[in-house]
Structures are given as C-alpha cells and as structure tokens.
C-alpha cells in the first residue's frame, strides 16, 4: 500500500471512526518491520515515528526511505511522524525528507512564544502537504517525574485555534516510561473545549480502560516508546547468549515487538466503526 504522505488523512479517519492509532517510536529496521507486521495482522493503519535522538544516529532521509520501502510492501496505511521536534530546522529537514507529519514541542516556552513558533511550523508543514502536532503539556523526561505539566483546556484551545495545528498533545496523567492513570475529567474538559484531534504521550503505561475512554473523547494518536524498547532489550538478552549469529536473535526480537504492538493496536480500536 502506498506510503501516506499527508498525515491529516489518517487523523481525520481516526477521529471519524472513534479509534486511536498507536504511534510507535522506532529506531531500526527490525522495530519498523515488526510494528507494520502487527498492524497488518490487525488490519489497522499505523504511525511510525522518530525522536530527535534517533535522528542523531541516522538522517531523516534514511528513516523516510526505510519507512517508505516498508510501506510499499505493506497491506495497511503507514505514515511517518517526527516526535518531540525541537524547532523549525528539525521539522523542515524531516518534511523535506518526506515525513507525513511533524511535532513541535514548545511546552516549556511561554504560551505566546509556543503559539508563534508552532504557527510557523504548522504553516510550513501544510505547505509541504503534511500534518502538524502541537504540545499543550509536558509528559516527564524518561523514567523520572520531572517535566510533567498538566494541560489546561484554555491553553489547548489557544494552541489549536491560533496555530492551525492538526492535533494537540495533552498531558492528563500519562508520563513517559511509567505506569500512569489518566485524569479523565481533565481529558473530557479538554475534549469539550477543543473539539478536535487529541494526542497522548506516555502510552506504554496507560491502563486499557483509560485508553478506551480516551478514544471516545477524540484521542486519535497515542505514543508508544518504552514498551517497545523494553521488549527489544529483554528479547535480545534472552536470545543472544545461545546464538551463534545475529540472524538467530532478530526473529526473537521481532516476535516480541509484534506482540506488544498488536496488543496496543487492539486496545485503541475498541470503538472503531466499520
């Protein structure tokens, strides 16, 4: 199936169909392949995404070419997103490489500056025929508690309406790399105010019931990173000691990743309309 060049296509479909798409953070061929195979098994669209840290290992052109090649052999829609983009230069590089979507994470900035910089990046993304995600909250840094900034509904509305962004990331209790419980009351208030596509980060630790309710409230994208990284490391440690060559290890890792990815896809499609 052709690679989805404009992320707005899948975002609109998810909002109308009342389901969310897992956005899987991938940093290798094996991770990308496993997530797409999981999506094919569930017959669901899928988002692959890269951190800025991943782009220190390989350029946006390398990741875009890899994902496009995988998508051309897939039976489900696949798009590529920049996660936690840190500015116009990074976003532009990814868009030029052919990314379907970019995020600007300006949550640590004063709201007015976040709006101004997000508006510029949204304009560039739309000119490139791609979608843009804006940040209206903080989700913590890795395994720690620092950096959590819960979203206020008014701020989410301001960022969506004044930037032209296509989706807004909302912090309502989920945290990067940690088990968490959503503040569903806060999410409901944001959904009522924004009335548009919402995004959750820190999706690896969100309970199934909370994810199900989130899809009803307009969450269309949920980031999954830690669950994949942990599965990769665990499977590699288990398989590597007895292996003679890496070809014996890679299928074990891919199987572990597929199981995680299929579980997340199922959880986010419980309300999907046919």
Residues recognised as catalytic: 83
Q: Is 6 left (phi over 0), alpha (psi -120 to 50) or beta?
A: beta
Asked if residues 85 and 49 have their Cβ atoms less than 8 Å apart, the reply is no
């Amino acid at each position: 199936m052709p690679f989805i060049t404009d992320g707005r296509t899948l975002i609109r479909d998810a909002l109308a169909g009342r389901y969310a798409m897992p956005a899987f953070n991938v940093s290798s061929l094996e991770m990308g392949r496993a997530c797409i195979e999981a999506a094919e098994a569930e017959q669901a669209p899928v988002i692959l995404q890269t951190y800025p840290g991943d782009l220190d290992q390989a350029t946006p052109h390398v990741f875009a070419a890899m994902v496009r090649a995988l998508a051309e052999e897939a039976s489900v829609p696949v798009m590529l997103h920049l996660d936690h983009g840190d500015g116009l230069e990074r976003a532009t590089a990814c868009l030029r490489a052919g990314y379907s979507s970019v995020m600007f994470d300006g949550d640590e900035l004063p709201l007015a500056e976040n709006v101004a910089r997000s508006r510029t990046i949204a304009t560039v993304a739309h000119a490139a025929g791609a979608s843009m995600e804006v940040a209206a909250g903080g989700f913590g840094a890795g395994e720690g508690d620092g950096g959590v900034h819960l979203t206020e509904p008014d701020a989410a509305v301001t960022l969506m309406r004044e930037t032209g962004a296509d989706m807004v990331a909302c912090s309502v209790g989920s945290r990067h790399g940690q088990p968490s419980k959503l503040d569903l009351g806060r999410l409901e208030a944001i959904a009522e105010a924004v009335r548009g596509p919402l995004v959750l980060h820190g999706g690896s630790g969100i309970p199934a019931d909370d994810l199900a309710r989130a899809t009803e409230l307009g969450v269309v994208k949920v980031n999954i990173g830690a669950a994949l990284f942990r599965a990769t490391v665990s499977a590699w440690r288990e398989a590597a000691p007895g292996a003679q060559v890496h070809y014996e290890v890679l299928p074990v890792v891919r199987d572990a990743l597929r199981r995680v990815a299929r579980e997340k896809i199922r959880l986010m499609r419980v309300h999907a309309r046919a």
